[in-house]
Homo-oligomer: A and B are copies of this chain.
Amino acid sequence: MNSKSKSGPSSDNAEKFPALSNEKLQYIEESGLMFETLGMTRMTGRVFGYLIICDLDAASFDQIREAVRASKGSISGTLKQLMQIDFVEAISYPGDRKTYYRPTKVSIGTLLNSRNYQTKMFSDSLQKARSLKSREDDVSDWLLEVSCFYEWIGKRLADLVEEWETIKVSHLKKKQNAEKNNHHINIYRNKLNNS
């Protein structure tokens, strides 16, 4: 035991583990459920959700653990999964034994590619199905069309990513301006809600 912990559990704990608002805690759970419907685990969603809203440059193992209230083993495995799929990256600081974790700011192209992996698998399977058929019929026509479409659109998506890179700056400016204008509305809404 060190002298700090004797001086009271919440004295400087609050600095290392800043309390999360109910909204944020709720978001973490929602993120968990969403990741579940995407075929990942609830815990990966919780951890990723925490990392993107925690307002820290990077969070420590125990900060994550505290925020999502899970066991060390669970956090350890979950972080590995998230790093494996490149959703999270680890960083470290000199003179600090801890590892810190933060969301990877994956490029749009990478995001789209991982999405396309499943599509490719599906499309390949349909093509194989067609090759196994012993007659040509409506189904084999459909199988051909669908797998051709996916092949075609795979190429087209790559073009779109390039196009996005060229237009994104102006596009994002528009969006941010729209947001500023909405800000007044939000303040007005809050006043209404609090009345």
Give chain A's interface residues, CB within 8 Å of chain B: 23-24, 27, 30-31, 34, 37-39, 49, 52-53, 55, 57, 102-103, 105, 108, 111-112, 115, 118-119, 121-122, 125-126, 128-129, 132-135, 137-139, 142-146, 148-149, 152-153, 156, 160, 164, 168, 171-172, 175-176
Contact = CB atoms under 8 A, between A and B. Distances in A.
Complex A-B, nearest 3 residue pairs according to Cβ-Cβ distance, in ascending order: A39-B39, A105-B142, A52-B129
Interface of A is mostly: helix
Given A139-B52, A164-B152, A144 B105 contact: no
A16 B144 CA distance: 28
B142 A171 contact: no
Contacts of A152: 164, 171
A122 B111 CA distance: 11
Contacts of A132: 23-24, 27, 53
B38 A37 contact: no
A58 to B, nearest CB: 10
Contacts of A53: 129, 132-133
A84 to B, nearest CB: 15
Contact of A146 (B23, B111, B137): B111
A158 B119 CA distance: 17
Given A38-B122, A108-B146, A112-B153, 16 more contacts: A27-B129, A30-B128, A34-B121, A34-B122, A37-B121, A38-B118, A39-B39, A52-B126, A55-B134, A103-B139, A105-B138, A108-B149, A111-B146, A144-B175, A144-B176, A145-B172
